[in-house]
């Protein structure tokens, strides 16, 4: 360490050393560590959010310089660039996706103040404002709402967009929204980035539709299994269907070739009986037939070989799809991984 660095270290107050040590212990004690924005969150709500995350995550707010120093000491330089403005550290043993979902769920609606930037388009909805006739109708009209007095009350006659996302809220608009009880922004811990198992995740990487993702994985696993079956590829997940298909094809071959196998005898006898009945039904002279074959009706025609194969393929596909629904619903990704190693 250089002499200049030594002098700088010597001048650090003891409380700062202790704070950096506490932050370092927090960082090293959890699997996932992230930076969250806390701007605009009242102190009481911040405390409520901390309590709400108890048992799931820990939030610690400190000076940015000390937070950056602790992150650098832990080798998390990629997070340092997100330490800007009003921020804190969040640490958890959950995976980053679960952390992001938890933080988003903890956000609550809040009023917007003069001078703030609208996070999204602000719309005053159609309906009765519940305000008695008076100057407020002019206030509504001045901010761009289509309002009028009707039936002894001030009404907004249609949904009125009064501010675009990214624009600054005026004092008049803030007063109107406050009067109507409209809370156009969300207040909560805004995850900027999180580091877990050597990977840095941005919020957009974590914002996924879990149900849609699971459905996509299950669909991919089912398609892969069907491909393996149709290509006769002996993948782990396709072997039961391949064996079933091979058994059906072997049986079909045995029946067409009239192979005298013990397992085929019931089907061969049934086929012979049907053929006999078909011949008997064509003979007009009943005296030429034994008594048990008189007045017999011709059996329904058997499907052609191509029709049988088509039916077998259709049944096999349905069976494979049914199995896929059962197997992949719980763990589609695991099935896909097992299939192709």
In a domain, 116, yes or no: no
* Cα distance between residue 137 and residue 148, in whole Å: 6
How much of the chain exceeds pLDDT 90, in percent?
Answer: 48
In a domain, 63, yes or no: yes
Please, which pLDDT band fits residue 334 given cuts at 50, 70 and 90?
A: very low
Q: 99 and 51: one domain?
A: yes
CA dihedral 222, 224, 225, 227 (to 10 degrees): 120
Encode pLDDT of 103-123 as tens digits: 998 888 888 889 999 989 999
Q: 228 and 284: one domain?
A: yes
Q: 273 and 285: one domain?
A: yes
In a domain, 115, yes or no: no
Residue 287: domain span: 211-339
* Cα distance between residue 179 and residue 332, in whole Å: 51
Q: 248 and 149: one domain?
A: no
| pLDDT above 90 (res 138) | yes
Please, which pLDDT band fits residue 286 given cuts at 50, 70 and 90?
A: low
Please, which pLDDT band fits residue 330 given cuts at 50, 70 and 90?
A: very low
Q: 198 and 298: one domain?
A: no
CB atoms within 10 A of CB 199: 11
Please, which pLDDT band fits residue 302 given cuts at 50, 70 and 90?
A: low
Please, which pLDDT band fits residue 5 given cuts at 50, 70 and 90?
A: very low
Residue 195 parent element (H or E): strand 190-196
In a domain, 112, yes or no: no
Per the CB < 8 A criterion, the answer to whether 166 and 117 are in contact is yes
Number of domains in the chain: 3
* Cα distance between residue 100 and residue 141, in whole Å: 40
Q: 229 and 194: one domain?
A: no
Q: 194 and 62: one domain?
A: yes
Q: 231 and 290: one domain?
A: yes
Please, which pLDDT band fits residue 304 given cuts at 50, 70 and 90?
A: low
Q: 218 and 178: one domain?
A: no
Q: What's phi and psi for 23, nearest 5 deg?
A: -65, -40
Q: 168 and 267: one domain?
A: no
| pLDDT above 50 (res 335) | no
Which of 150, 172, 207 represents a domain boundary (last residue)?
Answer: 207
CA distances from 308 to 39, 229, 257, 305, 314 (A): 69, 18, 15, 5, 10
Identify the CATH number of the domain in which residue 43 sits.
3.30.70.1730
Q: 44 and 193: one domain?
A: yes
Burial of residue 123 (CB within 10 Å: 0-12, 13-18, 19+) is: middle
In a domain, 334, yes or no: yes
Strand order, beta sheet including 127-128: 127-128, 153-156, 147-150
């Amino acid at each position: 360490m250089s002499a200049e660095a030594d002098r700088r270290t010597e001048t650090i107050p003891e409380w700062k050393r202790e704070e950096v040590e506490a932050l370092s212990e927090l960082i090293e004690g959890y699997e996932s560590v992230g930076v969250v924005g806390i701007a605009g969150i009242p102190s009481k709500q911040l405390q409520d959010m901390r309590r709400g995350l108890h048992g799931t995550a820990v939030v610690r707010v400190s000076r940015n310089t000390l937070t950056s120093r602790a992150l650098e000491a832990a080798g998390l330089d990629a997070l340092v660039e997100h330490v800007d403005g009003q921020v804190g550290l969040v640490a958890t043993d959950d995976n980053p996706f679960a952390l992001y979902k938890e933080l988003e769920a903890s956000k609550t609606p809040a009023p917007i103040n003069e001078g703030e930037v609208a996070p999204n388009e602000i719309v005053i909805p159609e309906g009765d404002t519940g305000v008695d006739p008076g100057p407020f109708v002019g206030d509504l009209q001045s901010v761009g709402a289509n309002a009028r007095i009707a039936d002894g009350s001030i009404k907004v006659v249609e949904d009125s967009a009064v501010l675009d996302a990214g624009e600054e809220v005026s004092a008049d608009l803030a007063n109107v929204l406050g009067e109507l009880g409209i809370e156009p922004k969300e207040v909560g811990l805004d995850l900027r980035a999180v580091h877990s198992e050597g990977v840095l995740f941005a919020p957009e990487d974590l914002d996924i539709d879990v149900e849609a993702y699971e459905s996509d994985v299950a669909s991919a696993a089912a398609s892969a299994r069907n491909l393996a079956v149709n290509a006769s590829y002996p993948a782990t997940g396709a072997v039961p269907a391949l064996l079933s298909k091979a058994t059906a094809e072997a049986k079909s071959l045995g029946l067409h070739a009239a192979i005298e196998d013990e397992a085929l005898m019931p089907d061969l006898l049934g086929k012979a009986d049907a053929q006999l009945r078909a011949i008997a039904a064509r003979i007009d002279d009943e005296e030429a037939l034994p008594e048990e074959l008189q007045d017999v009706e011709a059996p329904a025609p058997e499907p052609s070989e191509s029709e049988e194969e088509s039916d077998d393929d259709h049944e096999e596909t349905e069976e494979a799809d049914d199995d896929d629904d059962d197997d992949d619903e719980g763990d589609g990704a695991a099935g896909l991984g097992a299939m192709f190693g």
